[in-house]
Amino acid sequence: MSPQENLRALGLTLPPAPRPVGSYLPAVRTGNLIFVSGQLPLQEGRLRWVGKVPSDVDLSAATQAAGTAVLNAVAILAEAAGGLERIARIVRLGVFVNSAPGFTDQPKVANGASDLLAAIFGEFGTHARAAVGAAELPLNAPVEIELVAEVRP
């Protein structure tokens, strides 16, 4: 199935691509790669979850937040690529987790984004990844996602 069909089967639609809130571009294309700037788990322009994982946001909610953030990143990616069907593969995913002291399950939070990318793009959604803890994130978001994708010429 196509990525669009997979989204429908998951009961999901891409949100409108978020616009930057600072001095940066949402995505930059160089050659056949698109680099998507860090995305937060925004829904309708507002953070759905706020705080540190797991003291303010439990692991399950943080995993959902990672999925929401990656949907925002995919929306930007699709816009920059000229359509979802132009995305050849997800190359790399970076996941930053607003971590409470002692929290070491950042990879479990990142799985919320990784698993969704695989569900949307199939084998071409599997990727290299970094999942790291952060002392603070913008707007006190629990997670921030960045990604790199290859696009068809």
Contacts of 70 (CB under 8 A, 6+ apart): 39, 93, 112, 113, 116, 117, 145, 147
Domain 3-151 indexed as CATH 3.90.1150.10:
no
Inform me whether the pLDDT recorded for 21 exceeds 90.
Answer: no
Q: Which of 54, 29, 26 is nearest to 40 (CA)?
A: 26
Inform me whether the pLDDT recorded for 153 exceeds 90.
Answer: no
Whole-number pLDDT of residue 81: 98
Q: CA 25 from chain center: how many Å?
A: 16
Model-level pTM?
Answer: 0.97
Residues paired with 53 in a beta bridge: 99
pLDDT in tens, 100-111: 999 999 999 999
| Mean pLDDT, the chain, whole residue set | 97
pLDDT in tens, 28-76: 999 999 999 999 999 999 999 999 999 999 999 999 999 999 999 999 9
